[in-house]
Amino acid sequence: MNKSILLTILILMLSINLFAFRVGVFQAKPVCYFEDETFKGIFIDIIREIGSKNKVEVEFVLDEFPKLQEMLLKGEIDVLPGIVYSAERAEIFDFNDEHILSSYGTVYVPESSEFISLLELAGKKVAVAKNAVNYIGEYGIKRIFDTLNIEIDYIEKDNYPEVLQAVHENEAEAGVVDSLFAAINAADYKIKATPIVVNPSDIRYGFTKGTESTAELIEIVDRTLAEMKDDSSSFFYQTMNKYLHNKEYVDNPYLYYIIILCIAVFFFFLYSINYLRKGLKKTSDEIAAKSTQLDLAEYKVEQTYAELKKSNEILKETLNKFENLIGISGALGVRDLDEEGFLAIFLKNTVSIIKEADYGSVSLIRNGEWKFVAAEGYDLDTLKTLRLKADNMYLKQEVQIIDHLYDQYDHDFSKADADILRKGVKPFKQSLVAPFYIDGEFSGNLSLDIAKENELEFSEETKAIISSISGIAASFLELKKNSENKERFQTNIVLSLVKALEYYDEYTRGHSERVAAYASMLSSRLGYAKEMTNKIYWASLVHDVGKIFIPRNILNKVTTLTNREFQEIMKHSEKGEEILRETEGMKEIADIVRHHHERYNGSGYPDGLKGEQIPIESQIISIADSFDAMTTNRPYRNRMNYDEAVEDLRNCIDFMYKKELVDAFICPELLKLFNSYHS
């Protein structure tokens, strides 16, 4: 009896880890990849966590994507992560249902290329990844060009890194890669993105087709994914943040040092006051106790008073410097402050902090030229007329004290430039020069100068202070550069989405731009801030992007839509929100796009919001969208004229639109815009 029990226990123990699955991994950062002897990526980390939660052993197999596809077909591996879903692939593989990521194909070209449209690729060499959906899928680049009867010389590669390398080395004139992969890896190559996008689609886990273990695996994956997605702090969202989300602003270590220095000064001030108070009390006690030594006591009182007065003067100077530091640091938080505005504030406060300095200037390298952008005590307008080469700038690796720069103008510059410099500045005897470095490159400098008649000189202590303070300006310049790069990236994303939609639905061509113009006009008339007007403008441009997921035969149908077809159309606002929420930089306009078909009386979709529950931005876009739809030809009707459309808007007040918005929308500016589009 005991032997049979032991045998049963042994069988159970051996069967605990019998259920395991093999996961294919190919190099597609950040979806999946192998680096530093470790398997990594969004899909790898998530499948590893799913295995851990369900006590299922996971084994990883590294190979090229085409080889892994063959292995999945033969059942040699069980799961292949990061597969772009398509109807063709669903015929040969099984896919999980829970959504993880969406993506689309982006066309990249060499940095020197001027390609901006799909048709310009006719006859060109285009690098593609074998079997990639962005290449051979239903809306892949090959299907698009075959439909248009345009010849393309395709250069097939094994993976996306090879595609980017082919464009980088000019083997190909363009290349199609997954946008998510490119966002992480394209910076390693001398290439740039175009507004051309293809094949918007989901990225999922692929499984061997039709086996019992596949059904069980899919159930485990989808169930665990659903559980994790219900918890906003779960491993799923932590993984997304880890691989996809970056800080909007750069850290500024110099600013931390300055704040620590200011705190130290503040506590030193408290200690000094406490110390002086104790000293004064002690002196007063001595005077009271030694009334017979009046002369000595009086002398001590005078000495103490002198020390207190000196301490107060030092304290006042320290507090002034502290306020100036706060002024510089505070300017970092003003996002709309331009470069010259910030540097003017920075320079003015810096000159106030450094007691030896009489004058100062800030110079930057721009397009190979040395340009003055801020000055204190000098004629900035005169200095801006100089056209100096970047090579003429005083290139320093660190903060340095330099004597007699003013006297060397004739030696360092041409006579014409030296004369302009002397006209723009005042005679000085000594300079403290601090360089700015952005991304490791010398980008300009700060120069503080002492007037010739001033007896003071810069000290090593001052040199150390400037080393810290100049870091604030360098951090601001780097922040501004990163912000501009991000804005350009977001602009390209929006334009790409609009171009993709226009290719997909010919009747929306130009519609998004017109809606954006009408909505921006209304926002400005309502007196909204520039930031909100800009948000409305970008949301208007992509308000219909969800239509990419609606079948074209429904979008372009001439006859009346069936109830089922209209239900499909209604999904586009929700689909648009999903695309934007997954796109970096577009999250804040996702809700605006979701609700642009809500009605003021609550009869709209997708959520049936009513009145002020509807975001005001969505209400504005709804009016602009309806007006443009009414005044342009559609497959099922001819357009209205201006007066007919205006009358229709008025008839729908309190039913579809808020009265105050319609009243503000119907104005001379609207008529002028309308005529510009329909003249």
Residues in the chain: 679
Please give the Cα distance from 508 to 111 (Å, whole number).
31
In the structure, what pLDDT confidence band is assigned to residue 11 with cuts at 50, 70 and 90? Answer: very low
Residue 198, pLDDT score: 79
Are the CB atoms for 141 and 198 separated by under 8 Å?
yes
Please give the Cα distance from 286 to 300 (Å, whole number).
9
Tell me if residue 33 falls in helix, strand or coil: strand
Residue 259, pLDDT score: 40
Residue 507, pLDDT score: 62
In the structure, what pLDDT confidence band is assigned to residue 429 with cuts at 50, 70 and 90? Answer: very high
- Start-to-end CA span in the chain (Å): 98
Residue 522, pLDDT score: 96
Tell me the β-bridge partners of 34: 39
Q: How many CB atoms lie within 10 A of CB 384?
A: 13
> Hey, what are 392's tokens?
């003429």
Q: Which of 113-117, 356-360, 580-584 has the highest mean pLDDT?
A: 356-360
Which region holds residue 131: left if phi is over 0, alpha if psi is between -120 and 50, else beta?
Answer: left
Residue 438, pLDDT score: 74
Residue 586, pLDDT score: 74
* Model confidence pLDDT, tens digit, residues 505-515: 666 667 888 99
DSSP 58: E
- Average pLDDT rounded to a whole number, residues 142-168: 88
Are the CB atoms for 457 and 430 separated by under 8 Å?
yes
Residue 557, pLDDT score: 77
Q: How many CB atoms lie within 10 A of CB 183?
A: 19
Please give the Cα distance from 180 to 165 (Å, whole number).
17
The single-letter code of the amino acid at 245 is H
Residue 389, pLDDT score: 82
Lowest mean pLDDT among 55-64, 80-89, 185-194, 387-396: 387-396
Residue 325, pLDDT score: 44
Q: Given a cut of 70, is residue 309 above it in pLDDT?
A: no
> Hey, what are 12's tokens?
């159970």
Q: Where does residue 104 rank: exposed (0-12), middle (13-18), buried (19+ CB within 10 A)?
A: buried
Residue 562, pLDDT score: 87
Residue 672, pLDDT score: 93
Q: Given a cut of 90, is residue 45 above it in pLDDT?
A: yes
- Average pLDDT rounded to a whole number, residues 307-319: 43
Within 8 A by CB and 6+ apart from 142, the residues are 128, 135, 136, 152, 154
Please give the Cα distance from 184 to 161 (Å, whole number).
11
Higher-confidence residue of 327 and 4: namely 4
Within 8 A by CB and 6+ apart from 397, the residues are 435
Please give the Cα distance from 576 to 27 (Å, whole number).
30
Higher-confidence residue of 43 and 137: namely 43
Q: pTM (2 decimals)? A: 0.39
Which region holds residue 47: left if phi is over 0, alpha if psi is between -120 and 50, else beta?
Answer: alpha
Residue 119, pLDDT score: 77
* Model confidence pLDDT, tens digit, residues 569-626: 898 899 888 878 876 667 788 899 999 999 999 999 999 999 999 999 999 999 999 9
Please give the Cα distance from 122 to 145 (Å, whole number).
8
Burial string for 106-129 (b: 16+ CB within 10 Å, else e) reads bbbbbeebebeebebbeeebbbbb
Please give the Cα distance from 515 to 624 (Å, whole number).
5
Residue 179, pLDDT score: 79
Please give the Cα distance from 173 to 192 (Å, whole number).
12
Tell me if residue 207 falls in helix, strand or coil: strand
Average model confidence (pLDDT) across the chain? 79
Please give the Cα distance from 513 to 498 (Å, whole number).
9
The single-letter code of the amino acid at 29 is K
